[in-house]
Structure 1
Amino acid sequence: MPGEGKSGGAGVDPERLWLRPAEPRRGRRPSFTREAITARAVAVADAEGLEAVTMRRVAAEVGAGVMSLYSYAPDKETLLELMVDHVSAELTDTDPPSGDWRADLKAVARLQRAHMLRHPWLTAALATRRSPGPHTLAFLEHVLGVLRPSGLAGAARLEVFAQLTGFVAGHVGYEIAQARAAEPPGRAEAEARYLAAVAADGHHPELAEALASAGAPTTPEETFTRFLDRLVDGLDST
């Protein structure tokens, strides 16, 4: 079915998607809206993963014929754009910037992490270039305001936002993969013994020093915070 795959070679047209209201092409007005369609698609993705989201499945969820959805989302790529912006509304209720841009930027990253953990499919969705919709733009506006006291130029602030989002998505993707992986009993102990043997062989002094200084295992949140501190504290404000 043509609507299940990607749109044409030009991709999703952001002007058509975001600047023109979605109206049915013909016939009587349906009992659903683009918002309702998007919300149901998000619910399916949250529960079963992005691969479960098809035009046919979403049509069944809203109680409509699949062909009637195409006036609102002509293909899955367009639907995915709508889904990403739909959940981005959760990021727009934020406190005004405090003026401490590094602290505020870390708060933004923690907000993004919690957001992506609620919607695990987002890490994959954001790996492909998306056209920012109104909620995404509102969040971007907030982050650019957070970064204004840094003294960075506008283009550099955009780069920092992209870098931060990429870091959070990568870390959350790893967290999710680790949580889902079924580790065989005794695997962690076996790996620890192996690395201890390698460190003691005299051929890997750098690794031996690193392992000797390693502390107790930390939680995913503690690891995230440590990496985030290194990233944000190391940003050049000039």
Structure 2
Amino acid sequence: MDPERLWSRPGRPRRGRPPAHSREAITAEAVALADAEGLAAVTMRAVAARVGAGTMSLYSYVPNKETLLELMIDHVGGDHSLPAEPSGDWRADLRRIGREQRAIMRRHPWLPGALSARQTLGPNTLGVLEYVLAVLEPAGLDARARLETFSLLTGFVASHVSYELAQERLIEATGGAPGALFEAQARYLRSVAEGGDYPRLAAALASPVDDSSPQAVFDRLLDRMIDGLTATA
């Protein structure tokens, strides 16, 4: 894939009559289809049907599904709502980015898995990256470390959201209550720890129980991730 050709050239046929569709509208329909039915449902034929175009005519806007996926990923990157400038509190700003990434990935459940196949960075993603690089300027990290911090933060959020969604699907498939699986796991670990073979696990389980809501768990892990990523600051 040629990133320059993808992002720097108009997404429309170059000759003939004015285009009946736009690459932006096609991408939005593909995102809506993936949100509703999963990424596997996104085929060129299915997207063409949603926009009211022939399958072959769609290729004049988007040459293949791999390119469409790149467009979709960058499209939802536009869901970020970023201030004009960082606040100066880089930890708080980085935490905000992480929470916003989680919200976007939960709105678009196909996104965490799709990120691993991403080949290039589109304009929306570049805008977020530029903002994060500005956020991290006071942290004392060099330019390369700031780039790596953004990559690792995004990877952490994608991994965590993938786990959250998988657990929710498991609960839905088994018809269990949202907290039932967690409680069953906790009972099992307590019973194992009582045997005396795992004293460190027993000590950890005996610690005060923090808020176990999904948002609270994510926020705690996010804070630890940020502390670790910026340990040299």
2:191 aligned with 1:202, yes or no? no
| 1:109-132 Cα shifts (integer Å, max 9, x gaps) | 111111111111110111223311
2:67 aligned with 1:72, yes or no? no
Q: Give % identity.
A: 60
2:210 aligned with 1:221, yes or no? no
Distance 1:229 1:93, change over 3 A: closer
SS at 1:22 equivalent: coil
Distance 1:85 1:190, change over 3 A: closer
Structure 2 matches for 1:138-217, cutoff 5 A?
138-182=127-171, 183=174, 185=176, 188-215=182-209
Per the TM alignment, residue 194 of structure 1 is displaced from its structure 2 partner at its CA by 2.7
2:92 aligned with 1:120, yes or no? no
CA–CA separation in structure 2 for the residues paired with 1:188 and 1:140: 36
Per the TM alignment, residue 98 of structure 1 is displaced from its structure 2 partner at its CA by 1.0
Picking from 61, 68, 77, the partner of 1:88 is 77
The farther-off stretch of 213-222 and 43-52 is 213-222
Distance 1:192 1:133, change over 3 A: closer
Distance 1:154 1:180, change over 3 A: same
CA–CA separation in structure 2 for the residues paired with 1:190 and 1:148: 45
The farther-off stretch of 80-89 and 178-187 is 178-187
Q: Is the 8 A contact 1:92 1:139 kept in 2?
A: no
Q: Is the 8 A contact 2:70 2:118 kept in 1?
A: no
Q: Is the 8 A contact 2:141 2:232 kept in 1?
A: yes
Unaligned 5+ runs, structure 1: 1-11
Distance 1:93 1:205, change over 3 A: closer
Match of 2:13 in 1: 24
- For 1:45, give the aligned amino acid: A
TM-score computed with the length of structure 2 as normaliser = 0.90
Match of 1:236 in 2: 231
2:124 aligned with 1:130, yes or no? no
Q: CA RMSD in A?
A: 1.8
Q: Is the 8 A contact 1:92 1:138 kept in 2?
A: no
2:33 aligned with 1:39, yes or no? no
Distance 1:112 1:190, change over 3 A: closer
SS at 1:71 equivalent: coil
The farther-off stretch of 203-212 and 183-192 is 183-192
TM-score computed with the length of structure 1 as normaliser = 0.89
Per the TM alignment, residue 210 of structure 1 is displaced from its structure 2 partner at its CA by 1.3
Q: Is the 8 A contact 1:40 1:62 kept in 2?
A: yes
- For 1:229, give the aligned amino acid: D
- For 2:231, give the aligned amino acid: D
| 1:153-212 Cα shifts (integer Å, max 9, x gaps) | 111100000010001111111111111113465655544433222111111111111111
Unaligned 5+ runs, structure 2: none
